[in-house]
Amino acid sequence: MIPKQTVNMTDVARHSGVSIASVSRALRGEPGVSPTTRDRIMTAARELSYVVSPEASRLAGGATGRVGVVVPRIDAWFYSTVLAGIADEFDTVGTDLVLCTLPDSAARHRFFEALPLRRKVDAVVVVSLPLSARERTRIDQLGVPSVFVGGHHPGGNRSWIGIDDELAARQAVGHLIHIGHRDIAMIQAADDTDIPWATDQARISGFHRQIREAGLGDPTVVTVKWSIEGGSRGMEMLLSGPRLPTAVFCHSDEIALGALRTLRRAGVSVPQQISIIGVDDHPSADLNDLTTVAQPVRDQGQIAAREVLRHLVGEAAPVSAPNTDALTTLPTRLVIRGSTASPH
Amino acid sequence: MIPKQTVNMTDVARHSGVSIASVSRALRGEPGVSPTTRDRIMTAARELSYVVSPEASRLAGGATGRVGVVVPRIDAWFYSTVLAGIADEFDTVGTDLVLCTLPDSAARHRFFEALPLRRKVDAVVVVSLPLSARERTRIDQLGVPSVFVGGHHPGGNRSWIGIDDELAARQAVGHLIHIGHRDIAMIQAADDTDIPWATDQARISGFHRQIREAGLGDPTVVTVKWSIEGGSRGMEMLLSGPRLPTAVFCHSDEIALGALRTLRRAGVSVPQQISIIGVDDHPSADLNDLTTVAQPVRDQGQIAAREVLRHLVGEAAPVSAPNTDALTTLPTRLVIRGSTASPH
């Protein structure tokens, strides 16, 4: 469907020594490119006889009226809630939302190879995908503004919306320490992709830092898959150990919910014999009386949508320094329910 | 954005005495219209000087490559799971998914007034919206094939995918009767729109029919809002009554989960003192050991997507008789867990 061009924006970017996003901005007459850089880009484009595609001209003249949203999957609470926030905002201004899901590694591979959104959307929002450096570059190669939600990887000149995952972990573990726990384990979840996800790493390092700063010994950590099932498995592993910790920090509420199920089945009472805490404030956390650190999920979608719309009208906040990202960090907060109490 | 035309497809349909869908098919040269009807439509179009819009010509020539999906909201398990099924199928054939959510009555009103998807998509899938007759007509006026998921309203010449909601209710209540319950209440949920939703009605009538056929007396029914909170409220109402029923059929799993929470807080043991059953097989049903009637949700999305793609290539199954709908009914099945048992 996409006409082949011998020279593309990547060539212009390489020739002029700037990012593809800058080439895109310069060719579309958008702000955010210095006059000197713009001149260099225009010269490179002329020298390479770069032809702006008809679709691209249409973009320059106005817009497709569409923004792409890329999410790993939508049948999971976090993603569907972020998406709902984005959809709300787009609806109010009449922007069409083109949805791309990448439920497995084949779909993901296809997406980053073919970039099916190319020339079809004015901008993209990428929600909580653990992106490799190459994948981040491919998103840039869409040649349109992009905004990222969750799991910040420093890359430079990108807009990220998320929470401070290390702080969230510290709030959770801090609560356990504050009420007297000294023997705190973690059920940590690992994604099945090969790419280390920033969110995962930050929650793990937050846990270890808080434990270390409180002067507590080496904690027990078990690693499972990111799912309720994984949480159940993790708690079974802890129950098989020589001694049960008095409290468990779970990587997320879904992990914690699985852990609670195992404890119920094993006849271990919560919080009398063990305290459990998660991160998220999943709707089931309230239902199962789970103490957690809440993150504002719908808000992340809404703010990302507003940010991408600001990019489209050229009103996005300029990045403060070259090669840094524009980060928007939303606050998390401790929600104390019935699954945590002081140890006996 | 949409150029005004004095004559539109509705006029051609009225003039030729056929449905708008037939006009659309005839003008686009698609199968499913008899030669006589096609002639009548073409004559009407000529007499009215109906001009096919440039966008419509593009449709006739090929396709936008986009299909619209309309859902009430996506931050709820049922909708996000159907949507995931649709996205999967579209992804395999490279169809872009344009998402429209109608989270409140204002958004809904705007959508059916302005029809923002008009001329932007090749087809639409409408997921579980309780549609008024006028709204169903507005969907037809998009002039593209449409497929509906859930809550069948007989209207004629439309494709519907769903479960047999009356049967689902009968399976649930039948299980309670089978294990010996004679005093069965229902917590029924009502949508806050004014439009009676077929799904709601069918589950309610299935409940009453099963009770009547078993020769049981007039059951207690309480009505609440469609939410976990509503379920909690409903059980509070039952607990306030003169005598607790031995079993409760809940309109959905979310209602049942709310009911279970109230029972836990009230210290009433399940299933020893009361049995609880829902409909859906929500992920939290397993987590909370809730007996339920499972419906295949992702499948409904996948089948709807395949059906709409068949419409696009002109391969959709012809409707068996005029003014009837093409119905695809997926099976439901009883999943027995720990929340139901014989009464003492």
* A238-265 pLDDT per residue, tens: 999 999 999 999 999 999 999 999 999 9
Q: What tokens appear for B176 in the block?
A: 């309670």
Which of B66, B81, B287 shows the shortest C-beta gap to A257? B287
Give the pairing type, strands B326-330 and B96-101: unpaired
Q: What percent of chain A has pLDDT over 70?
A: 85
pTM for the structure as a whole: 0.78
Search chain A and give the residue with CA nearest B85.
A75
Q: Are residues A82 and A159 in the same domain?
A: yes
Q: What is the distance between the alpha carbons of residues B290 and B297, in angstroms, rounded to a whole number? A: 18
The CA distance from A297 to the nearest CA of chain B, in Å, is 11
The whole-number average pLDDT for the span A299-324 is 80
**Parts of chain B with a pLDDT under 50:** 1-5, 53-62
Q: What is the dihedral of CA A276, A278, A281, A283, to 10 degrees?
A: -60
Cβ neighbour number for residue A207 with a 10 Å cutoff: 23
CA distance B287 to chain A (A): 7
Output the pLDDT for position A102: 92
Read off the CATH number of the domain in which A39 is found.
1.10.260.40
Per the CB < 8 A criterion, the answer to whether B209 and B238 are in contact is no
Q: Mind listing the pLDDT tens digit for each residue in A157-195?
A: 789 999 999 999 999 999 999 999 999 999 999 876 666
Closest CB from B91, B110, B261 relative to A101: B91
Asked if residue A61 belongs to a domain, the reply is: no
Q: How many CB atoms lie within 10 A of CB A217?
A: 8
Q: Does A309 lie in the same domain as A290? A: no
Chain B CB within 8 Å of residue A116 CB: yes
Residues of B in contact with A280 (CB under 8 A): none
Tokens of B276: 């609880």
Chain B contact present for A312, CB below 8 A: no
**Helix, strand, or coil (residue B98):** strand
Q: Examine the domain organization and report whether A70 and A159 are in the same domain.
A: yes
Distance between CA atoms of residues B237 and A40, nearest Å? 73
Tally of helices (H runs) and strands (E runs) in chain B: 13, 12
CB atoms near residue A174 (< 10 Å): 17
Angle between helices B35-47 and B20-27 (to 10 degrees): 90
A26 lies in the same domain as A76: no
Q: Does the pLDDT at position A44 exceed 80?
A: no
Q: Can you tell me whether residue A289 is helix, strand or coil?
A: coil
pLDDT score at B56: 41
Rounded CA separation B305/B126 (Å): 11
What residue has token string 């060719």?
Answer: A27
A278 lies in the same domain as A169: yes
Closest residue on chain A to B338 (Cα): A265
Q: Which one of B111, B121, B287 would you mutate to disrupt binding with A, by most A Cβ within 10 Å of its Cβ?
A: B287
Chain A residues whose beta carbon lies within 8 Å of the beta carbon of residue B228 = 283, 287
Count of CA atoms in the C-beta half-sphere (13 A) of B47: 12
Please check the confidence at residue A341 and state whether its pLDDT lies above 60. yes
- Cβ A83–B91 below 8 Å, yes or no? no
Pair B301, B207 in one domain: no
Q: How many helices (DSSP H) and strands (DSSP E) are in chain A?
A: 13, 12
Q: For residues B204 and B208, give the distance between their C-alpha atoms in angstroms, rounded to a whole number.
A: 6
The closest of A140, A145, A129, A213 to A173, measured between CA atoms, is A213
Q: What is the DSSP letter of B154?
A: -
Which residues in chain B are contacts of A228 at CB distance < 8 A? Answer: 283, 287
Q: Among A79, A94, A287, whose Cβ lies nearest the Cβ of B284? A: A287
Are residues B154 and B77 part of one domain?
A: yes
Q: How close A111 gets to chain B, by Cα (Å)?
A: 9
The verdict on B106 touching A (C-beta cutoff 8 Å) is no
What is the domain extent for residue A30?
A: 9-52
How far apart (Å, rounded) are the C-alpha atoms in residues A238 and A226?
Answer: 17
CB contact under 8 A, B120 and A1: no
Q: Which tokens go with A249?
A: 């920090």
- Distance (Å, whole) CA B126 – CA B104: 16
Q: Distance (Å) from the C-alpha of residue B286 to the closest C-alpha of chain A? A: 10
Min Cα–Cα distance to chain B from A151, Å? 21
Same domain, B153 and B169: no
A-B contacts at Cβ under 8 angstroms: 94
Tell me: pLDDT of A56 over 50: no
CA–CA separation, B125 and B70 (whole Å):
6
Among B65, B98, B228, whose Cβ lies nearest the Cβ of A287? Answer: B228
Number of domains in chain B: 3
Q: Taking 90 as the threshold, does the pLDDT of residue A335 lie above it? A: yes
Q: Do the chains contact at A99 and B101, CB–CB below 8 Å? A: no
Cβ separation B1–A65 shorter than 8 A: yes
Q: Which residue of B81, B96, B300 to mutate against A (max A Cβ within 10 Å)?
A: B96
pLDDT, one tens digit per residue, over A130-160 is 888 889 889 999 999 999 998 777 777 789 9
Terminal alpha carbon distance of chain B: 67
Contact: B81, A75; criterion CB under 8 Å: yes
Dmax over CA atoms of chain A, in Å, equals: 76
Residue B189 and residue B257 in one domain: yes
Q: Are residues A73 and A90 in the same domain?
A: yes
CA atoms of B277 and B259, how far apart (whole Å): 10
* Interatomic CA distance for residues A251 and A228, integer angstroms: 11
**B344 in a domain, yes or no?**
no
Mark yes or no for CB contact A74/B74 under 8 Å: yes
Closest-CA distance, A233 to chain B, in angstroms, reads 14
Name the maximum alpha-carbon separation found in chain B: 76
Q: Chain B: nearest CA to A29, how far in angstroms?
A: 23
Q: Degrees (nearest 5) of the Cα angle A318, A322, A325?
A: 65
Whether residue A225 is contained in a domain is answered as yes
Distance CA B189, CA B226 (A): 5
d(CA B127, CA B150): 7
Q: Is B227 exposed, middle or buried (0-12, 13-18, 19+ CB in 10 A)?
A: middle
The reported pLDDT for the residue numbered A237 is: 98
Alpha-carbon distance B283 to B280, whole Å?
9
Q: Are B170 and B209 in contact (CB under 8 A)?
A: yes
Residue whose C-alpha is closest to residue B79's, from B172, B150, B144: B150
Evaluate whether residue A188 is within a structural domain: yes
Q: What is the mean pLDDT of chain A?
A: 86
Residue range A186-235, pLDDT digits in tens: 999 987 666 666 677 899 999 999 999 999 999 999 999 988 999 999 99
Compare all CA atoms of chain A with the CA of B92 and give the residue at the minimum distance.
A107
CB contact under 8 A, A84 and B101: yes
Domain CATH code at residue A135: 3.40.50.2300
Residue with tokens 């007039």: B218
- Selecting from B81, B96, B284 the residue whose C-beta is nearest the C-beta of A98 gives B96
Q: Dihedral angle at the C-alpha atoms of A149, A152, A154, A156, nearest 10 degrees?
A: 10
CA atoms of B143 and B140, how far apart (whole Å): 6
| Within a domain: A342 | no
Q: Which among B75, B116, B288 has CB closest to A84?
A: B75
| Contact assessment for residue B284 and residue A284, using Cβ atoms and an 8 Å cutoff | yes
pLDDT of A28? 61
Do B105 and B155 have their domain in common?
yes
Domain assignment present for residue A30? The answer is: yes
By C-alpha distance, which of A283, A292, A273, A280 is closest to A337?
A292
| DSSP secondary structure, B237-290, as one string | HHHHSSS--SEEEESSHHHHHHHHHHHHHHT--TTTT-EEEEEE--HHHHHTT-
Question: Cβ distance B135 to B112 under 8 Å?
Answer: yes
Q: For residues A260 and A114, state if they share a domain.
A: no
B27's CB contacts (< 8 A; 6+ apart) are: B9, B12, B41, B45, B52, B56, B60
Q: Which residues in chain B have their CB less than 8 angstroms from residue A288's CB?
A: 287-288
Does residue B260 contact residue B232 with C-beta atoms inside 8 Å? no
Closest residue, chain A, to B265 (C-alpha)? A289
- Select from B118, B237, B133 the least CA-distant residue to B187: B237
B63 touching A, CB under 8 A?
no
Backbone angles phi, psi at B68, to 5 degrees: -85, 145
Q: Has residue A60 been placed in a domain? A: no
Please check whether residue A143 lies inside any domain of the structure.
Answer: yes
**What would the DSSP string read from start to end of B195-243?**
SPPHHHHHHHHHHHHHHHHTT--PPPEEEEESSHHHHHHHHHHHHHSSS
CB contact under 8 A, B87 and A66: no
